[in-house]
Amino acid sequence: MCGIVAYIGHQAAYSIILKGLKRLEYRGYDSSGIALYGDQVTSFKRKGRVAELEAWTDPITQTATVGIGHTRWATHGEPSDANAHPHKSNSGKLTLVHNGIIENYASLKQELIQKGYTFESETDTEVLVNFIEEIQKNNQSSLEEAMRIALKRVVGAYVIIVIEEGFPNRLIAARKGSPLVIGVGEGEHFLASDASPIIEYTKQVIYVNDYELAIISPDEIILKNLGNEPITPYIQQLDMELAQIEKGGYDHFMLKEIFDQPASLTDCLRGRLDSENMTLTLAGVEQHLSVFAQAKRIVIVACGTSWHAGLVAEYMIETLCRIPVEVEYASEFRYRNPVIGPGDIILAISQSGETADTLVAIERAKEQGAFIFGVVNAVGSSIARLSHAGAYTHAGPEIGVASTKAFTAQLTVLAMMAMKIGKAKGTLAEAEYNRLLGELALIPEKVKTTLATHEAIKEVAKHYADARDFLFLGRGYNFPVALEGALKLKEISYIHAEGYPAAEMKHGPIALVDENLPVLFIATKDAYYEKIVSNIQEIKARKGKVIAVISEGDTLIRSMADHVMVVPEVDELLAPLISVLPTQLLSYYIGVERGLDVDKPRNLAKSVTVE
């Protein structure tokens, strides 16, 4: 939520920050702004997309070599010029950008109002910059010391970067609960919420940890904790390439990322699955096999699309490993005082590795003695560092707000985990293990085959682009796919959609069925096939419109459905990797047909780093 970019060095800061904000626009896009330090600190901010900042023609945009920028996802205060970042303190000496939420801002604001401070915005961020200034003034302290004191009183999550008048060659940043990465250059440094604005300039990065301050000049990075103790920066090498964060000729990032999936799944399997020798290597699991083998239960915590991946994993793990699994919304799990202790495994799933609710959930579980295993995409992310062990999905950067390739990569890692643990426990027979390995090796090619049907799916989308409601139904492994399909359609097209287990349809949702309601069945060949056929007949009897995702060669459901989307046959345990693809494409094409910005759906941001 919200994207931050900053630069200090010898190049013109404005163009670097502007380009960086465009790359971070998936994190928030209701307003944006830039502050540059020339003879003094000058700001320009506007409601709307980052492109609005191109109207800034002040000569400072050509000369300033220090600056900070922000693209906003509104929390406190509606999108407006006044609420856009950066925010200045009352004296004008401090200018600040902020990603996160200050939960106790209201009480801090009242304190400041009583001391004569005034506010131009509705934001918690303007409160924070003035709170830091008040501490600095009262204690006659340096900005660094004032920030340390202020942040000990602040409740909430934040990354902040501050410019101070009189210090033209210095930025000070701090982090708790929101991501911050520093790019290390020659006589220059880059700061951002993730690596995408940095990769063009350097692959040497430092990931800032919670409760750390970074004092940054063109030639130096000093890290300290809130106790003023120095910390040795750990420089890492990015494995990201610039081409991965560009559209590559596609109309939208979402479409590119859907079509990336044969490659992203190949990358996910590379170095892990050797189908010729029938071996599977997952270091994070192998190093802790005894923990998994002796686990009392596995609790999966996640949000959104990752939660749907967790539901599929529940089926996989209980089937192959015979370990009880619970799947929890992280936002609920963290607040309901769950019974967690030694012998429990918390499996945290997050594309960004920075999801605020998931982070807090695993922190609490870790304190109670649980073993934490992270499944994340972003290398060096907070969840990856907080976990005892984990596995990266290697899906590559995902820029489109609606998750696509990250979901299938998560499913791939989770399937490999279930297979590995099941074999180690002896609950998965050798012959079945080898068969599943062979099936998994074929998945990238079957994904490619499915995506080749995109023109047919585009035609289906045209028939339903004006629908007001949708119902998605599935059973077994395909039930979570129905949930995920409904979520994608809601996100991308703003059509109300619900996902249900097909058998539950008769317990309420069937009341919605009439000749105007499209009902999409995930109906691939599996153990539930005959039951799904019966459910389709129930919808047809009530004049509902049936769209079905079917296996190749299925003539029965084809004869019953109004429209079909065909996928290759695949083992039912791995079916979600394939059956989800038509729902991704359908959502995309319906969104485009409705004239919507599918990469930046309204009110949504890619990485939810606030509650």
Which among 2, 268, 303, 321 is annotated as catalytic? 2
Which of 481, 470, 472 lies closest to 573, judged by CA?
A: 481
Amino acid at 394: H
Amino acid at 527: A
Which among 45, 47, 490, 606 is annotated as catalytic? 606
CA distance 383 to 159: 16
CA distance 181 to 195: 7
Calculate the dihedral angle through the C-alpha atoms of 598, 495, 482, 550, rounding to the nearest 10 degrees.
Answer: -80
For 373, the 3-state DSSP assignment is strand
303 is catalytic: no
Which of 40, 1, 36 lies closest to 18, judged by CA?
A: 36
Strand-pair category, 371-376 with 344-350: parallel
Q: What Å distances lie between residue 490 and 22, 25, 76, 428, 469, CA to CA?
A: 25, 20, 25, 38, 10
Angle of CA points 274, 387, 310, to nearest 5°: 65
DSSP single-letter state for residue 209: P
CA distance 350 to 606: 11
b (16+ CB within 10 A) / e for 269-306: beebbeeeeeebebebbeebeebbeebeebbbbbbbbb
Q: What Å distances lie between residue 105 and 96, 115, 122, 155, CA to CA?
A: 15, 15, 11, 8
Tokens linked to 427: 């609950």
DSSP-assigned states of every residue in 307-327: HHHHHHHHHHHHHHH---EEE
Tokens 């340096």 -> residue: 142
410: number of Cβ within 10 Å = 29
Which of 315, 306, 341, 380 lies closest to 572, judged by CA?
A: 315
For 344, the 3-state DSSP assignment is strand
DSSP-assigned states of every residue in 404-433: SHHHHHHHHHHHHHHHHHHHHHT-S-HHHH
606 is catalytic: yes
The set of catalytic residues is: 2, 606
